[in-house]
Structure formats: structure tokens, C-alpha cells
Amino acid sequence: MTGTLVLAGTPIGDTADAPPRLAAELVAADVIAAEDTRRLRRLTQALDVQPGGRVVSYFEGNESARTPELVDALAGGARVLLVTDAGMPSVSDPGYRLVAAAVERGIAVTAVPGPSAVLTALAVSGLPVDRFCFEGFPPRKAGERLARLREAAGERRTLVYFEAPHRLADTLAAMAEVFGADRRAAVCRELTKTYEEVRRGPLEELAAWAAEGVRGEITIVVEGAAEPGPDEAGPAELARRVAVREAAGERRKEAIAAVAQAAGIPKRVVFDAVVAAKNAAQDGPREGKGHH
């Protein structure tokens, strides 16, 4: 008889949001795998429970090495509870490897639903919630971040991101460049905590606000792209979209094809727009020299 892997959601800020079943699972588990054992200790104290089994650490640095050990315990009949620092395990947190390994071995996997920064931010953002996608943390390096955002530029669904506070301004500025300065967004800071704040507005405006410095846990919600139309973007805008893709490392031919497909127009139209923009840039200096 194999055991059961239990993924338990933990509070993202307010410990009063802990699901009632969490306390029972903490007592019943044979093994508790925690992203941070010190945080787990504070949580159990807040819930006034004593863990019933042994506690082991399970974080990014030891996830690969510890997974086989936990799978063996599950195979032997143990009930293993996985908790991370906040929210649901495996959602931008450790857990995916363990879930995949357990499923491969035919071990039962269940969950204790709990708080989620993704869904909480989405719900309070004021942006469409009927269709959305979670993009996790954008890449740290500017070029890689720009390329990742470019991939999502035509996404119609509402986009949800996590971000570190010290990179927020740069990420919002990159989003304004790729998605458009007027694209609506919401920055959700310190959700469910004492200093919770939700800033809503165009990406350009939010980037300027974030440049002054922001602290705390951050979730960004961005409005999806508008439905394309042949007359929606003029030549200058089409050329700008191609330039953004080229700046991110894409070849011009592929960039033109991608922009055309996203806008629902022939590639020739985009090509002509790029040529016109290039000619305009070259003509400008010549006119200036004529006046001197």
C-alpha cells in the first residue's frame, strides 16, 4: 500500500487565511517537506499545532537530491505533506519534481486548497478574469526578459506575473515598450498583509511610479492584447513592433512575419511599413544638412 502526497496551500500574508484542513494535515503527516523549516515553525505556532511527523527541508537547492528520498517514503506508505513559504506548492515554488515523480510511480497526489497570490491579484485587478495565463517570474537579464515579453505581446488572455521589488520598474518599463504604453495593468503589493496596495493604470504610468522604489511581494496583472484588425495599426506602429522584436534578437524576416500574423495583415504591408520607416529615418538628416 503506497502513501499519499499532499500539497498544502499556506497563507500568502495573513495566517488567519490558513485553510482549516492544513492544521489537521500538519498533525497527521508522517513527513513534512517544507521550503523553509523556520517559516514552518512560525506557522505551526500561529496555528497552535504540533507537527506529527519528521520535518525535512525541501527547497530549490536540494529539490533534485531530496525528491527520490521522499518518493521512497511515499512508496513505503508514508503520508508526505509538502508546504512552501506562501501559496500553493509547485506554482513558481518547489514541488513540480516531486509531483511528477510521484505520478510516475503511481502514487496518489492530492491537495489542500489554499491562498494563491495569482488568483487573489487577478480577482482584485479590475481586469478581465474569464481567461488568463500565469507567466511566473520574467527573466532577470534585460535581453531575455524582453524576448519573453515579446512572445506574449499578442496574447489575448490577461497575463499574471510575479516580480521582485528591485526589478519591478525595469520590468514595467519593458512591458510598456513591448505591450504598449497604454496597456492597462495592476501592480498588487503585499496582498492580504497590513500594507496591501493595488495600483492600477497604464503600464507607462505604473513604470514611472515604480521608479521611485517599491517594497514587498509583487504580483503584476496585465490586460491581454486587443483583437487585431487590418486597420488597427498604422505603418509607424507596425515598424515599431518589428523593431522591438529585432532588438530582442529576432531576425527581420521572422519579425515581419510574426507582426503580420498577429495583426491579421499580409506580410507585404508590414515590410512596406519597415522600409518606409527606414527611408524616413535616412531622409531626416539629409534635410537637416540642407539647412546648414
Q: What is the CATH topology of the domain spanning 118-222?
A: 3.30.950
Report percent pLDDT > 70 for the chain: 95
Domain range list for the chain:
4-115, 118-222, 235-290
pLDDT in tens, 204-229: 999 999 999 999 999 999 999 987 55
Class of the CATH-defined domain 4-115: alpha beta
Q: How confident is the model at residue 162 (pLDDT cuts 50, 70, 90)?
A: very high
pTM over 0.85: no
Q: How confident is the model at residue 138 (pLDDT cuts 50, 70, 90)?
A: very high
Q: Which residue has the cell 500553493?
A: 88
Residue 287: per-residue pLDDT: 43
Q: By the 8 A CB rule, do 92 and 151 touch? A: no
> What are 178's three cell numbers?
513591448
User: How many other CB atoms sit within 10 Å of the CB of residue 103?
Assistant: 12
User: Which range, of 66-70, 135-139, 284-288, averages the lowest pLDDT?
Assistant: 284-288
pLDDT in tens, 4-49: 999 999 999 999 999 889 999 999 999 999 999 999 999 999 999 9
> What are 237's three cell numbers?
506602429
Residue 135 predicted with pLDDT over 90:
yes
For residue 186, which of 139, 115, 124 has the smallest C-alpha distance?
A: 124
For residue 36, which of 70, 82, 81, 85 has the smallest C-alpha distance?
A: 85
> What are 281's three cell numbers?
529615418
SS3 content of the chain, % helix, strand, coil (to 5): 45, 20, 35
Q: Which residue has the cell 504598449?
A: 180
Q: By the 8 A CB rule, do 52 and 26 touch? A: yes
Q: How confident is the model at residue 260 (pLDDT cuts 50, 70, 90)?
A: confident
